């Protein structure tokens, strides 16, 4: 039971990290696209 709980906690942490990275990447891409479009 403990191992299972730890595993799910790790999975949640990994998913959170991934989503944070994705948001950062999407924001960067969005900024680049805006910069290109405003030229």
Q: What is the pLDDT of residue 7?
A: 77
Q: What is the pLDDT of residue 23?
A: 87
Q: What is the pLDDT of residue 1?
A: 52
Structure-block tokens of residue 11: 């999975």
16 exposed, middle or buried (CB, 10 Å; 0-12, 13-18, 19+)?
exposed
Which of helix, strand or coil describes residue 1? coil
pLDDT tens column, 1-39 = 566 667 788 888 888 888 888 888 899 999 999 999 987
Residue 25 to residue 15: CA distance in whole angstroms: 15
């Amino acid at each position: 039971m403990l191992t299972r709980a730890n595993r799910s906690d790790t999975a949640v942490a990994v998913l959170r990290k991934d989503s944070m990275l994705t948001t950062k990447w999407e924001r960067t891409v969005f900024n680049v696209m805006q910069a290109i479009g405003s030229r």
